[in-house]
Amino acid sequence: MKKKKRGVLKKIVVILVLAVILIIGILLYRVKSQVDEVNAWRPTVHQVTQELGVADYEDLVLSIILTETKGDHIDLMQSSESKYGETDQITNSEESIKTGVIHLTEVLTEAERQEVDIWTGVQAYNFGSNYIPYVKQHGGKHSVELAEKYSKEVLAPMLGNTTEKTYRYLSLRAFKYNRGHLYENGGNFFYAELVRSNMGLMDKLSHLPWIDD
């Protein structure tokens, strides 16, 4: 009887292990497909960054595209608001990239001018450029904790959320940090960390020939 129970338990363990491997494989394939979708825009990003004199930003721009839309939207860099003051005004992806790169260059240049770290500039792509002097006044270095404070105490109230109202945000990093929430009208205070993580992800997954199409 004990041997039979052990045999059943072994089978269950094997099935669970295989299920986990299958799920990981599916997720990996899905993320790799998204990375490939973004990398399809590399020639355009290369051309735009070259034209604007910021060729060093090429990988960063692609990581922002992965973070913003995973390459599956006309407004790839969600840059309509920075150009037109409202969403859904961008009519083609090339315009989105050029507008996004211009905006990114502006915030990174301002971050350098104010002698704060580059990730402050990246977070300002999401928050707006006012985040840069805020970081300057609070130690000069971006962190998730500082970004949350800005989101909660400055950005959200400025845009109408004066009650610290939150909404569910599904992300492993967010769940570990605060059980997964963001402040309404407060941007995404995980943004710079997501972009940095996606840069590493793109670098790794772009060199996996065994799951290339």
In a domain, 114, yes or no: yes
The rounded distance, in Å, linking the Cα atoms of 97 and 41 is 9
pLDDT top residue among 157 and 28: 157
pLDDT at position 15 is 78
In a domain, 159, yes or no: no
Polymer length of the chain: 213
Among the residue ranges 1-15, 103-117, 194-208, the one predicted with the least confidence is 1-15
What is the domain extent for residue 121? Answer: 2-140+191-211
3-state SS class at 183: strand
Backbone angles phi, psi at 182, to 5 degrees: -130, 165
Lookup: tokens for 33: 């497909």
User: CB atoms < 10 A from the CB of 183, how many?
Assistant: 23
In a domain, 25, yes or no: yes
In a domain, 175, yes or no: no
Amino acid at 58: E
pLDDT top residue among 155 and 209: 155
Give the DSSP H or E segment for 182. Answer: strand 181-183
CATH number at residue 104: 1.10.530.10
In a domain, 163, yes or no: no
Number of structural domains the chain divides into:
1
The rounded distance, in Å, linking the Cα atoms of 141 and 78 is 25
User: CB atoms < 10 A from the CB of 30, how many?
Assistant: 11
Q: Residues 47-73, buried b or exposed e (16+ Cβ, 10 A)? A: ebbeeeebeebbbbbbbbbbbbbbbee
pLDDT band at 177 (very low <50, low <70, confident <90, very high): very high
166-168 and 181-183 beta bridge pairing: antiparallel
Q: Which pLDDT tens digit goes with each residue over 114-154?
A: 999 999 999 999 999 999 999 999 999 999 999 999 999 99
In a domain, 173, yes or no: no
Closest by Cα among 54, 164, 156 to 100: 54
Q: Which pLDDT tens digit goes with each residue over 9-45?
A: 777 777 777 777 777 666 666 778 888 999 999 999 9
Angle between the 2-39 and 58-68 helix axes, to the nearest 10 degrees?
A: 120
pLDDT band at 210 (very low <50, low <70, confident <90, very high): very low
In a domain, 130, yes or no: yes
pLDDT at position 20 is 74
In a domain, 169, yes or no: no
Q: Which pLDDT tens digit goes with each residue over 36-80?
A: 999 999 999 999 999 999 999 999 999 999 999 999 899 999 999
